[in-house]
Amino acid sequence: MKNFCVFLVSALFLLPTVQAVETDYRQGLSIWFDTPNSLTGQAVWLRSNGNRGANLDREWESRSLPIGNGSLGANILGSVAAERITLNEKTLWRGGPNTSGGADYYWNVNKQSAPILKEIRQAFTEGNGEKAAQLTRKNFNGLAAYEEKDEHPFRFGSFTTMGELYIETDLSELRMKNYRRILSLDSAMAVVQFDKEGVQYRRKYFISYPDSVMAMEFSADKAGKQNLVLSYAPNPEAQSNIRTDGTDGLVYTGVLNNNGMKFAFRIKAIAKGGTVIAQNDRLIVKGADRVVFLLTADTDYKMNFNPDFKNPKTYVGDDPELTTQSMMNQALLKGYETLANNHKADYTALFNRVKLTLNPDVTGSDLPTYQRLANYRKGQPDFRLEELYYQFGRYLLIASSRPGNLPANLQGMWHNNLDGPWRVDYHNNINIQMNYWPAGPTNLSECTWPLIDFIRGLVKPGEKTAQAYFAARGWTASISANIFGFTSPLSSEIMAWNFNPMAGPWLATHIWEYYDYTRDRNFLKEVGYDLIKSSAQFTVDYLWHKPDGTYTAAPSTSPEHGPVDEGATFVHAVVREILLDAIEASKVLGVDSRERKHWQEVLAHLVPYKIGRYGQLLEWSKDIDDPNDKHRHVNHLFGLHPGRTLSPVTTPELAKAARIVLEHRGDGATGWSMGWKLNQWARLQDGNHAYTLFGNLLKNGTLDNLWDTHAPFQIDGNFGGTAGVTEMLLQSHMGFIQLLPALPDAWKDGLVSGLCAKGNFEVSISWKNNRLDEAILVSKAGTPCTVRYGDKTLSFKTIKGKVYKIKADGDKLMQIQ
């Protein structure tokens, strides 16, 4: 979020006296390394080596430290001879209506396939599934390709890097000691520190959300030791221009070749002692005691909830050269200390809401994080590492998703290539949704706003997609989205991957989730309800109302798995979820009673969940499941998680069938898949099995810097892991608050504070010897409350702002305050 007011800049920028290397960040929640990275990845620009291609810059992927403010992101590599920093601005995308093909070309991606639905459904009626599948493959894909090699000009586009900074230090690793590269989750600050020839060197990095600036401080405990040369390697697929900005700054401007998107960033160097010279394309610092580099960056992208389909520049906004100047002016006026204090105050106000302590009497490890992870993989318990991983997910969400910008993408916002795996896009068949699973329950609901705004931007294009393919009211989206309102299926005829019309309704369920955690009725009335209602309208229009009176999803698929079907369980589960949301939302607002009645009728006649010959929950309309299938997607358990229509409490027989599915699929998979299974086992209230999945996620789906890997790096598993641990300790999706529903034996004692439950309750829980000790609830909305622990239940009315203390006493739950 950026403030675009322009101020005159004072030439003075006060710097405090250089201090000795500060307190060791390892005392807090920190990820750290004890060896520097090399420079082997420097200036290596790679295209994705296919969807599953490994990132060849392995140090960046597994040993860099990510920082960000939701708009600007950076990775700190921490080499000694030259600091290397990769840069990202989350709106820097190729593609869109401003490509050389123009707006008509960009938006002409939907096939007019709705008339084919009748033929497909008739084929299903006649038992000719192959004909139905063939018709679906040929007609329910789109016109836009997903890879640049398959289309010119490339309209879908991809998230792309802004480039790399290099800061040469005039140092070498010879006689270097005590190296540390640290990411402090407590302060959202990266630190590089080392000793060399009797001098302590330190670098500090943070990116401020309130002030829209990146700050980089280079200092030492002796004067005159900063001899630095800063240079920039731009995105090679852009026309770039570099010029000096006074005697102490540089301005970089660029235009992407693919779509003409403008981007810019500015750097100022402020030194105590010594000299600073801006020369050609470099900043040269000589003999300084301390140097602070400030960086601001932006693009000319404009979010648009109502795009003009005839205007190629409908997503083009302010000139980034001007916005970066404004941000820099304000940062210079405030000075480094104020910027650092503003950053810390803003960040800690979010991060410090939740504390997690597992087995506090067990001694933690002081080893570097990668060594702790290696020991954990060998079976050595490390409860502090588990806490660190949990809080890292919260850190990443704060760093990559703040109001006023786009949501976290497949890599959050950290990317070092021109193109990347799956275009580093918004994957709508679980990935972007998983990114936001921890937002509500871990007390970060504000971080959901970028997702809400993103959904709002899909509605108008999504209405055209809904009409073209299903003659339906409302809006929907498909498998992949970009920042330019892309809602259509892609050109692939692989329907298991490409055909996912329920992606839109799944996204819309997050609107109700936000309301349910915040109980912000004004939000529901002014923003949320229309998104939910129009998604529900699409849903009921998409369904096939069969002659026997039932409703089913034909055609449908189980995303990325299996055949075209006349009623995939996943789709029906999403239908249940969005219609339940729409019904509840209409009741809250007291509107649309007639439409609500229709939604209720569709729900009542929707094809029910079915149990197959192995006792498993069916994935498709026919019992074709293979018990040896280890596929990573567990779509048909959507009703168990993230949905709420399967539960051991309310539907025990179906929950047992879901358990069989998970047993068949096994406890391994890619990182994000293990994160999903972790949540599902927690919802089955099997704490020990959930803990097994959590352990497997850390051991087999986590890189040395704790990033999730598919492979390659993909951030959704981090968010899924954090959400899953929360589900083990607190659940509230079934209309009541359940305390410690899936507590594993390994977490004998512990405390978690500041979690959130639906109904807008803040919940803190302590336990001893694997049993509830005490729960403290703060009612933030004054709604009625039902609490469950084991088979004990307590219901009571609440007053907004009041605190309630609950203990277990024999066979009862007691409210003692």
Mean pLDDT of the region 205-218: 98
pLDDT tens, position by position, 455-511? 999 999 999 999 999 999 999 999 999 999 999 999 999 999 999 999 999 999 999
Instruction: Give me the pLDDT at residue 816, please.
Output: 84
Q: 426 is written with which tokens?
A: 């918004």
Tell me the C-alpha distance between 615 and 17, whole Å.
Answer: 70
Tell me the C-alpha distance between 130 and 732, whole Å.
Answer: 42
Q: How many domains does the chain have?
A: 2
Q: Under a CB-based contact definition with an 8 Å cutoff, are residues 485 and 504 in contact?
A: no
User: Is residue 384 one of the residues assigned to a domain?
Assistant: no
Instruction: Give me the pLDDT at residue 371, please.
Output: 98
Q: Under a CB-based contact definition with an 8 Å cutoff, are residues 815 and 794 in contact?
A: yes
Residues sharing a CB contact under 8 Å with residue 435, sequence separation 6 or more, in sequence order: 397, 401, 407, 408, 412, 451, 715, 716, 719
pLDDT tens, position by position, 399-454? 999 999 999 999 999 999 999 999 999 999 999 999 999 999 999 999 999 999 99
Question: In what side-by-side order are the strands of the sheet with 82-89?
Answer: 65-68, 72-76, 82-89, 163-168, 226-234, 282-288, 275-279
pTM here is 0.96
- Please give the radius of gyration of the chain, using alpha carbons only, rounded to the nearest integer: 27
Instruction: Give me the pLDDT at residue 43, please.
Output: 55
Neighbours of 532 (CB within 10 A): 26
Tell me the C-alpha distance between 374 and 371, whole Å.
Answer: 5
pLDDT tens, position by position, 735-752? 999 999 999 999 999 999
Q: What is the mean pLDDT of the chain?
A: 94
Instruction: Give me the pLDDT at residue 17, please.
Output: 32
User: Is residue 785 one of the residues assigned to a domain?
Assistant: yes
pLDDT tens, position by position, 301-323? 999 999 999 999 999 999 999 99
Q: If pLDDT is split at 50, 70 and 90, which confidence band does 53 have?
A: low
Residue that terminates a domain, selected from 352, 369, 396: 352
pLDDT for residue 779 is more than 60: yes
Q: If pLDDT is split at 50, 70 and 90, which confidence band does 691 have?
A: very high
pLDDT for residue 277 is more than 80: yes
The type of residue at 78 is G
Q: Under a CB-based contact definition with an 8 Å cutoff, are residues 650 and 696 in contact?
A: no
Tell me the C-alpha distance between 39 and 49, whole Å.
Answer: 22
Tell me the C-alpha distance between 785 and 759, whole Å.
Answer: 8
Which DSSP helix (H) or strand (E) runs through 803? strand 803-809
Report how far apart the first and last C-alpha atoms of the chain are (Å, whole number): 41
Task: For residue 783, give Cα distances in angstroms to 169, 487, 759.
Answer: 59, 37, 6
Report the DSSP beta bridge partners of residue 284: 229, 277
Measuring CA to CA, which residue among 794, 154, 676, 762 is closest to residue 684? 676
Q: Under a CB-based contact definition with an 8 Å cutoff, are residues 416 and 71 in contact?
A: no
Tell me the C-alpha distance between 534 and 467, whole Å.
Answer: 13
Cα angle value 200/201/204 (rounded, 5°): 135
Residue that terminates a domain, selected from 352, 378, 402: 352
Q: If pLDDT is split at 50, 70 and 90, which confidence band does 46 have?
A: low
Query: 3-state DSSP call for residue 513?
Result: helix
User: Is residue 800 one of the residues assigned to a domain?
Assistant: yes
pLDDT tens, position by position, 437-447? 999 999 999 99
Q: Under a CB-based contact definition with an 8 Å cutoff, are residues 92 and 52 in contact?
A: no
Burial class (CB in 10 A: 0-12, 13-18, 19+), 804: buried
Whole domain around residue 802: which residue ranges? 750-815
With the C-alpha atoms ordered 620, 623, 627, 629, is the resulting torsion angle positive or negative?
negative
Report the DSSP beta bridge partners of residue 193: 180, 202
Q: If pLDDT is split at 50, 70 and 90, which confidence band does 9 have?
A: very low
| Residue 577: HSE in the Cβ half-sphere, 13 Å Cα cutoff | 29
Instruction: Give me the pLDDT at residue 817, please.
Output: 66
User: Is residue 776 one of the residues assigned to a domain?
Assistant: yes
Tell me the C-alpha distance between 728 and 681, whole Å.
Answer: 9
Instruction: Give me the pLDDT at residue 282, please.
Output: 97
Task: For residue 419, give Cα distances in angstroms to 182, 424, 453.
Answer: 28, 8, 25
User: Is residue 684 one of the residues assigned to a domain?
Assistant: no
Q: If pLDDT is split at 50, 70 and 90, which confidence band does 252 have?
A: very high
Which DSSP helix (H) or strand (E) runs through 684? none
Instruction: Give me the pLDDT at residue 770, please.
Output: 97
Tell me the C-alpha distance between 694 and 687, whole Å.
Answer: 10
pLDDT tens, position by position, 63-112? 999 999 999 999 999 999 999 999 999 999 999 999 999 999 999 999 99
DSSP state at residue 186: T
Q: If pLDDT is split at 50, 70 and 90, which confidence band does 663 have?
A: very high
Instruction: Give me the pLDDT at residue 39, please.
Output: 86
Instruction: Give me the pLDDT at residue 309, please.
Output: 98
For β-strands 737-739 and 785-789, DSSP reports them as parallel
Which DSSP helix (H) or strand (E) runs through 48? none
Q: 93 is written with which tokens?
A: 């995308």
User: Is residue 33 one of the residues assigned to a domain?
Assistant: yes
Residues sharing a CB contact under 8 Å with residue 467, sequence separation 6 or more, in sequence order: 114
pLDDT for residue 693 is more than 90: yes
Task: For residue 176, give Cα distances in angstroms to 169, 193, 228.
Answer: 13, 10, 18
Q: 292 is written with which tokens?
A: 């602070």
Report the DSSP beta bridge partners of residue 468: none
Q: If pLDDT is split at 50, 70 and 90, which confidence band does 4 have?
A: very low
Instruction: Give me the pLDDT at residue 108, please.
Output: 98
Instruction: Give me the pLDDT at residue 55, please.
Output: 82
pLDDT for residue 22 is more than 60: no
Q: Under a CB-based contact definition with an 8 Å cutoff, are residues 652 and 713 in contact?
A: no
CATH number for the domain harbouring residue 307: 2.70.98.50
Q: Under a CB-based contact definition with an 8 Å cutoff, are residues 461 and 487 in contact?
A: yes
| Residue 445: HSE in the Cβ half-sphere, 13 Å Cα cutoff | 24
Instruction: Give me the pLDDT at residue 5, please.
Output: 33
Q: Under a CB-based contact definition with an 8 Å cutoff, are residues 438 and 723 in contact?
A: yes
Instruction: Give me the pLDDT at residue 18, please.
Output: 31
Question: In what side-by-side order are the strands of the sheet with 30-33?
Answer: 30-33, 176-184, 189-196, 199-208, 213-220, 290-299, 262-272, 249-256, 238-244
User: Is residue 206 one of the residues assigned to a domain?
Assistant: yes
Q: If pLDDT is split at 50, 70 and 90, which confidence band does 15 have?
A: very low
Tell me the C-alpha distance between 408 and 400, whole Å.
Answer: 5
Q: If pLDDT is split at 50, 70 and 90, which confidence band does 1 have?
A: very low
pLDDT for residue 51 is more than 60: no
Q: 602 is written with which tokens?
A: 């569709």
| Residue 224: HSE in the Cβ half-sphere, 13 Å Cα cutoff | 0
Tell me the C-alpha distance between 474 and 466, whole Å.
Answer: 7
Neighbours of 5 (CB within 10 A): 8
The type of residue at 781 is A
pLDDT tens, position by position, 372-394? 999 999 999 999 999 999 999 99
Instruction: Give me the pLDDT at residue 16, please.
Output: 36
Instruction: Give me the pLDDT at residue 74, please.
Output: 98
Query: 3-state DSSP call for residue 76?
Result: strand
pLDDT for residue 227 is more than 80: yes
Instruction: Give me the pLDDT at residue 812, please.
Output: 87
User: Is residue 486 one of the residues assigned to a domain?
Assistant: no
pLDDT for residue 574 is more than 90: yes
Q: Under a CB-based contact definition with an 8 Å cutoff, are residues 500 and 530 in contact?
A: no
pLDDT tens, position by position, 333-356? 999 999 999 999 999 999 999 999
Q: If pLDDT is split at 50, 70 and 90, which confidence band does 761 have?
A: very high
Which DSSP helix (H) or strand (E) runs through 113? none
Residue that terminates a domain, selected from 331, 352, 373: 352
Q: Under a CB-based contact definition with an 8 Å cutoff, are residues 5 and 330 in contact?
A: yes
Cα angle value 378/381/383 (rounded, 5°): 140
Q: Under a CB-based contact definition with an 8 Å cutoff, are residues 400 and 71 in contact?
A: no
pLDDT for residue 23 is more than 50: no
Measuring CA to CA, which residue among 306, 313, 297 is closest to residue 405? 297
